[in-house]
Amino acid sequence: MNLPDADWPQPAAALTCTLAPARSAACSAAGDRPGTGRSAPASAPASTQARTPARRPRAACHLPTWCAALLLAACASRAPQPAPGPAQPPAPAPAASAAAPAEPASAAAVQVRPITARAAELAAQTLPPIEVALTPPAQPGSVPYDQRADVQAWADAVAARTGLPIEWLRAALSEARYTPGAAKAILPAPAGTPKNWAAYRARFIEPRRIRSGLAFWQANEAALQRAEQQYGVPAEIIVGIIGVETLYGEHTGRFRLVDALTTLAFDYPREAPRDRSAFFRAELEQFFLLVRDIHANPVEIQGSYAGALGLPQFMPSSWRRHAVDFDADGRVDLFTNAADAIGSVAHYLAEYGWQRGLPVRHAVRGIDASPAELTRLLGPDIVPSFTVQELQRSGVALDAQAASASGLLALVKLENGTGAPSYVAGTDNFFVLTRYNQSAMYALAVTELGEEVARQRNVN
Ligand SMILES: [Ca+2]
């Protein structure tokens, strides 16, 4: 989503900062820049530490011509705003945080229900990624990105589509470094690695995260309450999401976004089972538009290996599309502003069809179904497809609360390694949670973390 006009800087004063490389004091405008004042998480895993390569001297911001070009471009885009770029991409989750890697999407070949229709509608509003014939060097990183023909062609197309000055794009790409850690982290777990809900749950529903959740809730009670009133999303769901994503801002990622996204956009690992580089090229485009929107320096923004940002780990497209200025201070800041993060999470879920008052899931007390029947029930995966009565007739015993449920349910299976699997009956709101991170385990973990924080909050 585009920021309102009020978020644009006054002419000249702050514009040049958008172009300034990190160490180019000549063009570093004074003023606040979201993303730069955020405290670096001290306890981030070593594997996520950002590289800080020596940078070549750059002439970028000492060139008044293209500094002026951006000024013109920015002014031109005040009214009307430039055409919105692609927003939420269709397949990948917006919050692919290092803390909670997404599970692969499961096939759900069932009829499209209203809730999924809304998700599809949002996806259909996106612009397709700009396609280029990739010509990566044999050794990733051996040729600077700004000197690669494929990257140059992409930058030209982005400039033409968005109005971003080509000189600025080239300068930013000249700063981008191939990041092996991002290329490695994006790979799925080795084939044959059993999923384990119990282990996954234990990572997130644990004393430290619960304590932080209690403190976060206490400190942000008013914003959480307002978000619940405005968007219908319970405080505990928002608390669960921000807790699982970043431990309430402690682990927001230490990859330079321009490095991680450029790496995945143009040097997506060849050994990956699926090439998602087009998705990351779209996100890189959105990232450059975002730093323009928030007047940030592209080389100073840090996030996850997959390009997720801030307290809620929004991808750049999600930030631009769904983030809100929830404390009405005139700018959207998901890096340091908890109220903006809270409102943005709630707005995101509301946009994807969150239903006020609908539980996330019902407990499955037991299943007495033939293997064939169980396979049929699991076919739609996370997509709510069965009435309560249908599930009960098929031998699925649900909790008493489910008897009064009117919507459709999904029988969701969670593997427990070599142990017996767990099952829950997911509602439309369970499905909405998977629009944040396409993983049933993720949806259940945020739900249970939030519930546990709420329970302890009521006890204490
Ligand atoms: Ca704000």
Task: Please write the tens of the pLDDT for every residue from 405-434.
Answer: 889 999 999 999 999 999 999 999 999 999
Residue 196 carries which side chain, given as an amino acid letter?
N
Backbone angles phi, psi at 382, to 5 degrees: -85, 0
Task: Quote the ligand 1 centre to 108 CA distance (angstroms).
Answer: 38
Task: Quote the ligand 1 centre to 316 CA distance (angstroms).
Answer: 17
pTM of the model: 0.77
Residue 459 carries which side chain, given as an amino acid letter?
V
Q: Active-site residue numbers?
A: 245
Query: Would you say the C-alpha torsion 350, 351, 354, 356 has a positive or negative sign?
Result: positive
Residue 308 carries which side chain, given as an amino acid letter?
A
Contacts of 23 (CB under 8 A, 6+ apart): 55
Q: What is the mean pLDDT of residues 149-155?
A: 97
114 — pLDDT class (breaks 50, 70, 90): low
Residue among 460, 446, 458, 426 nearest 355 (CA): 426
As a whole number, the mean pLDDT across the chain is 80
Task: Quote the ligand 1 centre to 340 CA distance (angstroms).
Answer: 5
331 — pLDDT class (breaks 50, 70, 90): very high
Task: Quote the ligand 1 centre to 391 CA distance (angstroms).
Answer: 45
Collect residues with CB below 5 Å from ion ligand 1: 325, 327, 329, 340
In this prediction, residue 14 carries a pLDDT of 28
The yes-or-no verdict on residue 32 having pLDDT over 50 is: no
Beta strands 419-426 and 410-416: pairing type?
antiparallel
Task: Quote the ligand 1 centre to 315 CA distance (angstroms).
Answer: 18
Task: Quote the ligand 1 centre to 51 CA distance (angstroms).
Answer: 30
Task: Quote the ligand 1 centre to 4 CA distance (angstroms).
Answer: 12
In this prediction, residue 79 carries a pLDDT of 31
The number of angstroms, rounded, from the C-alpha of 359 to the middle of its chain's C-alpha atoms is: 23
Q: Is 63 exposed, middle or buried (0-12, 13-18, 19+ CB in 10 A)?
A: middle
Q: What is the pLDDT of residues 159-195, one digit of tens each?
A: 999 999 999 999 999 999 999 999 999 999 888 888 9
* Helix segments in 232-368, DSSP class H: 235-246, 257-266, 277-293, 316-322, 338-351
Q: Tokens 């008013």 sit at which residue? A: 222
Q: What is the pLDDT of residues 206-237, one digit of tens each?
A: 999 999 999 999 999 999 999 999 999 999 99
Task: Quote the ligand 1 centre to 330 CA distance (angstroms).
Answer: 6
73 — pLDDT class (breaks 50, 70, 90): very low
